[in-house]
Structure 1
Amino acid sequence: MNKKDCVGIFGFGYCAAFLAFLLGKKNMKVLAASRQPNLSMSGHLANLELIDFSRKSAERVAKECNAILITIPPDETGHDPVLRQFEDVFLSFYDKFQWVGYLSSTGVYGDHQGQWVDETSELLCPSSSGKKRISAEKAWLNLYEKYRLPVHIFRLAGIYGPARCSIDKILSGRNYSLYKPNHVFSRIHVEDIAGALLLSMQNPAPGEIYNLSDDYPAAVHEVDAFAARLLGQSEPELIPVEQADLSELGKEFFLACKRVSAHKIKSRLGFTLKYPSYREGLEAILSGDSKMP
C-alpha cells in the first residue's frame, strides 16, 4: 500500500476497532462509516475519523482511501447493504483501490461432522444466515471477476477477545456451560484478525478467500473450564444444549460441527498466529497483555 495510506471501514464494531488501533501503529489513517458508531471504542484512536453512513461518506472514502473493509453483515434479503447502496461509487474508483476486504463467516461451511474444512470445502450451510453470507460473498467476488475490483473474502471463525470471552462470562456470574458431546468450535482472537487483515493489505491477492481461525478447535465447555481455572474458580456446571434457551443463531451454531483450517493464509502470506489457541488468548486477556484499544 502506498497511495495515501488511508483505510476506509464500513461498520465500526469490535473487529474494526482493533484493526484501526493496529493501523494507527503504522501511521495509517482510518475513515470509519457507521450508522451507530461505538464512540467508546474510538476515544483513544488519534488516527480514526468516524463519519456517517451515507453516499457522501462513501464518495469521500473512495476518493481518499486506497483500501476499504466491509464489516457489516448482510441484510434480511441477503444483500450487502454497502454494496446495495454504493456499488456505483466503488466502480467509479475501481482502478484506484489496491485492496478491498469483506468479512464473512466460517458458518458458510455448515456441518462437516467434525471434519477439517478449508477454502475449497463444500458450502453446506442450510441456515438463512449462512445463505445470506454466501450470497454477499458472491456479489463481491462478482465485482472482482467483472471489473477487477481487488476483492478479498475473509471467513472468520468464532471471534473472542477482551470484554468478549469466557472470562467475562464467568466474572459476570454465569455458572454454567453448554455441553454437546463430540462438538467443537473453531475460534480466533480479535487481534489475530486485525493482524491478518493488515498482512493481506500489505500483500494483495485479489479474488482470494481466506479462513481466519486458530489452530485448536475446542468445545465450549472446555474453554469455559479453562477460564474458570485461570480465575481460581470452580468449573461451570454443564448444561446439555437441548435444555438451554438459545436464540435461533445460537441453535445454528450447535447444529454444525467442523474444524476450520487457516493453513492457506499461513502458507501464502506467512501469517503467524499471535494466539494459536484459546489458552494463550485467555491468559493474555487475564494478564492484561491483550486489552481493548
Structure 2
Amino acid sequence: MTQRLLSFGLGYSARALARRLLAQGWTIHGTTRDAEKAEALAREGVQPLLWGQDDIEPILAQSTHILISAGPDEAGDPVLNAHGALIREHAVRLRWAGYLSTTGVYGDHAGGWVDEETPLAPSTRRGQLRQEAEAAWQAVPGLPLHIFRLAGIYGPGRGPFAKVRRGTARRIIKPGQVFSRIHVEDIAQVLAASIAQPDPGAVYNLCDDDPAPPEEVIAYAAELLGLPVPPAVDFDAAEMTPMARSFYAESKRVRNDRIKRDLGVALVYPDYRAGLDALAQDEAGE
C-alpha cells in the first residue's frame, strides 16, 4: 500500500523529511501559501497544495500520515481552525500524526536541564501559543499524535556563515546563556524513525548533545571560514529586534535521551561543531 504524507506547511524541516520519504517511494502532499514555492516543491517531487485555494478533503481522505509544521498565532492553530472538522473525521484512520512544536514551551530554567517530563511553563507569548496548540491537537479524539519539541534549527542555507561573511555577525554576551540546537537532517531522521515506530501520545525533544553559548557558535563559524572572530557585544547594550531579544529571555539545556532510547536514533551531528564542519565542507565542494 502506498504511504501518503500530507504536510500542513512544508517549511524547512518538513522539506527535509519529504526528501527522505520521497526517496523511499512515498507520495507527499504539502501545503503552501506561495505559488512560486509550490512550483519549487513540484520540482522536488512534492505534490503542492495552495493553502485556502486547493481542496484538502480528498487528499486528507487518502493520506496515511499527516505532519503539522504550521505555527499558531493569536487566533489559534491555523490547521485546526481551517480543517479541524475534517481532521476529526479522519483521525482514527491515520497511522501517524506529527506536530512540530518548540522547546520554548518549557520556559526559562536559568541554564538548567529539562526533559519531556518537565512541566510546561513558557515565558514568551510564542511559547504560550505553542503550548495551547499542543493541547488543542492532543484533544483531537483518536488522532495518533506525536509531538516533537524542536530546539534551534540550523542546516544548509540556515546557519551563521552568511552573517559572518557579511561582517554582520555579533557575539552577544549574556552570562549563563545557553541554547540547544538541532541539525535539520537529524530532525528528518527522528521523524522518519517515529513514523517507522509509531507510539501515539509520545512527546520527543529534538536537540543535539551539546547545549552551548551562542557566542561560541559564532566564534567557531568564523574560525572555520578563516575570518576574524566577530566582536563581543554585551546583551544589555546590543541593538536587537524584539524577536531576537526574546530568544535570550530563556536559557536551558535540553535532554534528548528519549529519541535515542525509544527510537534508536544516533545523531548524525551530535554537536554544533560536527554540524558546522559538514556545512563548511559542503559549501567548499559547491
Do they fold alike, i.e. is TM over 0.5? yes
**Offset of 1:246 from its aligned partner?**
2.1
| Counterpart residue number, 1:250 | 244
What's the CA shift string for 1:132-179, capped at 9, x where partnerless?
000000001111xxx221011110000011111011221233242211
Give the direction of change, closer, same or farther, for the CA distance of 1:213–1:291 in structure 2 (3 Å limit): farther
TM-fit CA distance, 1:55: 7.7
Alignment correspondent of 1:62: 60
**Does 1:15 find its partner at 2:13?**
yes
Which of 190, 194, 200 is 1:196 aligned to? 190
- Partner SS state of residue 93, structure 1: helix
- The amino acid of 2:185's aligned partner reads E
Deviation of 1:27 after TM superposition, in Å, equals 1.3
> Structure 1 residues 138 and 104, CA, compared in 2 at 3 Å: closer, same or farther?
same
Contact 2:115 2:255 in 1 (8 A): yes
**Cα gap change, 1:175/1:142 in structure 2, threshold over 3 Å: closer, same or farther?**
closer
Q: Distance in 2 between matches of 1:65 and 1:125?
A: 33
Provide the residue aligned with 2:98 in structure 1.
101
Provide the C-alpha distance between the structure 2 equivalents of 1:137 and 1:232, rounded to a whole number of angstroms: 43
Q: Residue 55 and residue 97 in structure 1: after superposition, are their counterparts in 2 closer, same or farther (change >3 A)?
A: farther
- 1:149-228 mapped onto 2 (5 Å cutoff): 149-228=143-222
C-alpha distance in 1 between matches for 2:225 and 2:21: 32
**Contact preservation (8 Å) 1:4, 1:65:** no
Q: Percent identity?
A: 39
Give 2:119's aligned residue: 122
Give the distance between the partners of 1:228 and 1:202, measured in 2 at CA. Answer: 39
Matches within 5 A, 1:255-270: 255-270=249-264
Contact 1:98–1:150, Cα closer than 8 Å, also in 2? yes
The 3 A distance-change label for structure 1 pair 189 and 291 is: farther
Number of the residue aligned with 2:44: 45
Instruction: Give the equivalent residue in structure 1 for 2:275.
Output: 281
Displacement after TM superposition at 1:291 (Å): 10
Question: What is residue 69 of structure 2 aligned with on the other side?
Answer: 71
Q: Give, in angstroms, the shift of residue 54 of structure 1.
A: 3.4
Counterparts of 2:48 and 2:8, CA distance in 1: 10
Distance 1:291 1:97, change over 3 A: farther
Mapped to 1, the partners of 2:80 and 2:224 lie a distance apart of 44
Task: Say if 1:157 and 1:193 are closer, same or farther in 2 by CA, change over 3 A.
Answer: same
- TM-score, normalised on structure 2? 0.94
Q: Is 1:86 aligned to 2:114, yes or no?
A: no
Q: Which amino acid aligns with 2:157?
A: A
Report the alpha carbon displacement of residue 123 of structure 1 after superposing the two structures with TM.
1.6
Moved more, 11-20 or 222-231: 11-20
Cα pair 1:4 1:64 within 8 Å, conserved: no
Q: CA deviation at 1:13?
A: 1.5
TM-score of the superposition, structure 1-length normalised?
0.92
Given that 1:108 and 1:124 are in contact with CA atoms closer than 8 Å, whether structure 2 keeps it comes out as yes
Report the 3-state secondary structure (helix = DSSP H, G, I; strand = E; otherwise coil) of the residue aligned with 2:171.
strand
Could you tell me which residue of structure 2 aligns to residue 4 of structure 1?
A: 2
Structure 1 residues 61, 282: closer, same or farther in 2, change over 3 A?
Answer: same
**d(CA) in 1 for partners of 2:285, 2:7:** 21
**Equivalent of 2:130 in 127, 133, 147:** 133
SS of match in other structure, 1:271: coil
The verdict on how the C-alpha distance between 1:101 and 1:289 changes in structure 2, with shifts beyond 3 A counting, is farther
Please give the root-mean-square deviation of Cα atoms over the aligned residues, in Å. 2.0
Which blocks of at least 5 consecutive residues in structure 1 are unaligned? none
Query: Secondary structure of 2:92's match?
Result: coil
Is residue 2:23 matched to residue 1:25?
yes
Instruction: Name the structure 2 match of 1:35.
Output: 33
Asked whether the equivalents of residues 169 and 218 of structure 2 are also in contact (C-alpha less than 8 Å), the reply is no
Q: Contact (CA 8 Å) 1:17, 1:41: kept in 2 or not?
A: no
Q: Distance in 1 between matches of 2:107 and 2:191?
A: 24
Structure 2, gaps ≥5 residues long:
none
Q: Contact 2:32/2:38 (CA < 8 Å) preserved in 1?
A: no
Instruction: Report the Cα offset of residue 182 of structure 1.
Output: 1.6
* 8 Å contact from structure 2 (residues 108, 250) kept in 1: yes
Q: Which amino acid aligns with 1:221?
A: E
